[in-house]
Amino acid sequence: MGDARLAAARGIDDFPSRAELEMQLMGLLPEEWWDAVAEGDDDRLDGLKAAIDNPAIVRALGEAGWVAPHYAIEHGGRGLSVSQAQQALGLLDWFEVPRVPRGSGLPLAAPTIQQWSIDETKQRLLPPLVAGVERWCQLFSEPGAGSDMASLATTAVRDGDEWVVNGQKVWTTFGHESEMAMLIARTDPDQPKHKGITYFGLDMRAPGVEVRPLVNMAGQLEFNEVFMTDVRIPDVLRISPVGDGWSAAMTTLGAERHALSGARKKRRSSDEILGGKPYAEVAAMGAVTGSLGSAIGRDRLVVDYVSDRLLSLTSQRARARAAAGQPAGPEGSVSKIAKAAANQRLQESAIGMLGAAAIAWDVGDTEAASWIEQFLRTRANSIEGGTSEIQRNIVGERVLGLPREPDPFRGVPWRSVPRS
């Protein structure tokens, strides 16, 4: 690539096969890419990003082992140590190379498979996952098991070397675009609700799987409800030991706290899972509308800026703990609540700055429509992934050590617990 183009990555230590990775990147990305990175030309780089085939690049990197370089070679990685892998991923992030497969496979499913599955299952599931060949979704929540997810009623009954699954899941993000799913199902109803649950990988293309779309109030199709009728899952796709599905599910829900993080990551667009516009765009819009001329407008934007910086620093602290091999601290527990509240408040600031334009806008004004769409999307932030109310209970019990809420059915077999 040349010393000039590598100048930005000078602080990244060498790692095995670095030259091989750099040569592959030169073949995958246009020449203009490196000039834009070296010059810090974000607008030019954004244009180049829009023109490349992201999935193809991710697939090439994944098949070469660079998406998860700390995984074993037979599991789709390169067998590097965690510190070496961080350097490799740091290099990719410095050059803003797309490296994350779409879906929740890499951040959520992969760490769970790594920790809980037998080697045969890892060899089947991980290589196509890290290459983005199979996109993953999550089948955890049910109509009667949302906040109390352990009360789930979907069943999996063993039949020789297969499991027969029946039940319904809901709020499945991008289930209509996924090939595989993380599924937890009840395999022993005579155990208490947290026991007798097993974790599977489900082929979303299998006979008996029906996906029905749910359109949110912003008009977006993200969520789905999924019905499973006599769906057969080979035992090789069982991710957890039989009956240990709840513990494995906790690994999934906590996986993002331990995810490897590169050195350079910026939020310049509104395509994050939380939705909404980033702070820089809101501030720029405030300048255009004249809202910053008001002391109230400036004060509100300062509060949003402080929240944005606090969240960034808290996330850095959590990543530093994970990189040092330390257990997750309270940072990860409180960040979900704080992110939801801060993002919603930021979008409310934007709507206030828009004024009457937030109520009605000219036909064809896609910019105004985009602001409203993003605002509406963020109303789900305090619900999705566990409501903020439930998250506060978790923080109270697990971080602050407060007494648990009374549960008269604690320890009672799931089959004996009354359900509405």
Residue 165 bridge partners (DSSP): 156, 231
Beta bridge partners of 167: 228
**Is residue 93 within 8 Å of residue 264, measured between CB atoms?**
yes
From 32, 179, 256, 384, active-site residue: 256
Neighbours of 379 (CB within 10 A): 14
DSSP 118-147: -HHHHHHHHHHHHTTSS-EEEE--BTTBSS
Q: Where are the alpha helices (DSSP H) in 324-409?
A: 330-354, 366-377, 388-394
Residue 136 contacts residue 105 (beta carbons within 8 Å): yes
Tell me what percent of the chain is helix, strand and coil, each rounded to the nearest 5.
50, 15, 35
List, as own/partner pairs, every contact residues 145-149 make where C-beta atoms lie below 8 angstroms and the sequence separation is at least 24, other chains included. 146/170, 146/171, 147/386, 147/387, 147/389, 147/390, 149/249
Which residues does 311 contact at the CB level (< 8 Å), separation at least 6? 335, 338, 339, 342
Measured CA to CA in angstroms, residue 264 lies from 9, 40, 221 at distances of 10, 13, 30
Q: How many CA atoms lie within 13 A of 208 on its CB side?
A: 14
Q: What's the sign of the alpha-carbon dihedral 60, 253, 166, 156?
A: positive
Annotated catalytic, 74? no
Q: What is the CA radius of gyration of the chain?
A: 23
Supply the residues annotated as catalytic: 256
